[in-house]
Amino acid sequence: MNKDKPFADALKAKAAEIGFAACGIAPADAAPQAAARLRAWLDEGAHGEMLWMEARAGERASPRGLWPAVESVIALGMSYAPGRDPLALAAHPERGRVSVYAQGGDYHDVVKRALKTLARWLVEQAGGEVKVFVDTAPVMEKPLAEAAGLGWQGKHTNLVSRAQGSWLFLGAIYTTLALPADTPARDRCGSCDACQRACPTDAFPAPYRLDARRCISYLTIEHKGAIPLALRAGIGNRVYGCDDCLAVCPWNKFASQAAAHRAFLPRAELAAPALADLLALDDAGFRQVFAGSPIKRIGRDRMVRNACIAAGNSGDVALAAPLTALLDDASDVVREAAGWALAQLLPATAPAG
């Protein structure tokens, strides 16, 4: 069933009422170049241990690869624009830096709830079938959002919006309705390379290309084993994710915290956690602190491993005591990271050879 522009405008007004800061529409065959780019990225091995990216690459390559009946994609963005400088904690090495997106409620739950509300309204108003997706499904949200006019994929490979900067959670509604498409966004990065220069671990081999194996977000969240020695110093005091390439984008000056969804306001215990507290976490303590947070999915061992790396980079010898207690931890990765950190803080105690 075809719908007209007034209906599309009503859809966008409803999306705004529900809490979305951006809404656009693309045809199901939009972003045809995304499949080839995905294949090249996977062939390079740049996805690291994210084997799920390769396992469902065929479905991810295009909307119809996942659902042949889809006619239109409604791309949506929910703002999580921060109220303070995401880089400020670089000057406080005794504190852990948590990516802005993970300091509040779990975006998977918040965005999906809103998507379902909008999808129900759509079916009630116009019929058709729908499917809703956040980022746990094989959907290329960023190319589709670009095709729907929400913004463009910047040189850091994330979406950049003229109105919201780099601070948008993306979701999508696939529908069998034929909706009027919006004009795709135009790349406005120009000659700027701020995001490329900001990366502490040189994760960008070229503009618009990311090697996840060197990305701090990947290393602290997706990577399960020991973090490569050569990349540890660059991690600094980041214990979950990294905002550097996003935070330096000049387009963020147009992003307003007033547009941010209240569910993503930072929780005090996640905004600037003390490394000493993170090092002391057991399983029960981890579950208590990170309940309702996207951080909970990495588990206690990875979080404590990350805190050990940050402690080793901190120069704070007061952290030697909690690190020493972790030398007998049940987790191999925690024991190894604690030993490395102690060697950084107290080099005289490092084993010979």
Residues 166, 164: Cα–Cα separation, whole Å: 6
29 classed as catalytic: no
Which token pair is 352?
């010979």
Phi, psi of 293 (to 5 degrees): -115, 150
**Tokens representing residue 289 in the block:** 């602190």
CA distance 328 to 336: 10
Q: Which two tokens stand for residue 57?
A: 């690459």
Q: Where are the beta strands (DSSP E) in the chain?
A: 22-27, 72-79, 97-98, 130-133, 152-153, 159-160, 168-175, 238-240
* DSSP-based three-state secondary structure for 94: coil
Phi, psi of 133 (to 5 degrees): -140, 135
- For residue 153, the cross-strand partners are 159
Active-site option among 4, 109, 135, 283: 135
DSSP state of 105: S
Residues marked as catalytic: 135
